Amino acid sequence: MQILAIEHALPKKILSNDEVIDRITVASRDTLSARELKRVLSHLSKLFSSTGLKSRHITNRVCKPIDLVTDAAKRALQSAGLSARDLDFIIYGGVGRGYLVPSYASAVQYELGASGVQSFDVLDACASWARAMQISQNFLAGKSNGAGLIVNCECGFYDDYDVWSIRSPKDIEVEGGFTRSGKRRRQLSSVQFRTAPASNSIREPMASMATWRRCPSLKATPT
């Protein structure tokens, strides 16, 4: 089995660190005291500084996840020199989906015009992509010249990221530790927003797609 192409797509809307800080400042004035808000913003600034992240791509009401994953799929097919008609299967590997029924892979199949192609979803948390690769290998083991797609689009599937209020400084996780001298130190480890849409506000959505083909010169051993 051979990987012929890997492509990705990102939303055009960009949200900077300063915009995140501004939105949280405005939205949290009614839930946090001035002192608490200052502490929260300080921790967020340190987090952004430590990660080196300056901005992130986010979806909105204009850019939909299905558009991203279809764009990535089309570009991967083009890079691989294949068309949708050449596919034997489409696998969507991931937890984030727009709906449960029908499969999200079938939505990608429809957008690509891949009539008659087997399409299904594989959900195995962070191992979804690896599991999809194993299934692909089994699919292609008995074919001399088969091809398939593995697609994913972890975007959160929200219309927009519009809940920015933080109810308590406890929503910001601060990990305690000690320096070599034994002095107590406080190290910012991660940020969690407990309101659902904001839990994805510091993630960078990406739709990725790989094109697989059975390579006659290689022996594919089913796992």
User: How far is Cα 119 from Cα 142, in angstroms, rounded to an integer?
Assistant: 18
What integer best gives the mean pLDDT of the chain? 75
- Say whether 148 sits in a helix, a strand or coil: strand
Please determine, for residue 107, whether its predicted confidence score (pLDDT) is greater than 60: yes
pLDDT, tens only, 56-72: 888 777 777 888 899 99
Indicate whether this model's pTM tops 0.85. Answer: no
Residue 175: strand pairing partners: 187
Residue 26 parent element (H or E): helix 17-27
C-alpha 48/C-alpha 31 separation (Å) is 23
Of the two residues 144 and 212, the one the predictor is more confident about is 144
pLDDT score, position 209: 53
Residue 36 identity (one-letter amino acid): E
Nearest to 171 by CA among 147, 149, 153, 196: 196
- Give dist(CA 195, CA 96) in Å, integer: 17
Cα-trace Rg, the chain: 22
What is the number of helices (H) and of strands (E) in the chain? 5, 9
| Rounded Cα–Cα distance for residues 223 and 221 (Å) | 6
Structure confidence at residue 223 (pLDDT)? 32
Domains in the chain: boundaries: 2-213
Predicted local distance difference test score (pLDDT) of residue 164: 83
The superfamily in CATH containing domain 2-213 is Thiolase/Chalcone synthase (3.40.47.10)
Sign of the torsion angle spanned by Cα atoms 213, 214, 219, 223 = positive
Strand partners, 92: 121, 151
Q: What is the pLDDT of residue 60?
A: 74
Give 86's DSSP letter: G
User: Which stretch of 72-81, 82-91, 95-104, 212-221 has the lowest confidence by average pLDDT?
Assistant: 212-221
Q: What are phi and psi of 209, to 5 degrees?
A: -150, 135
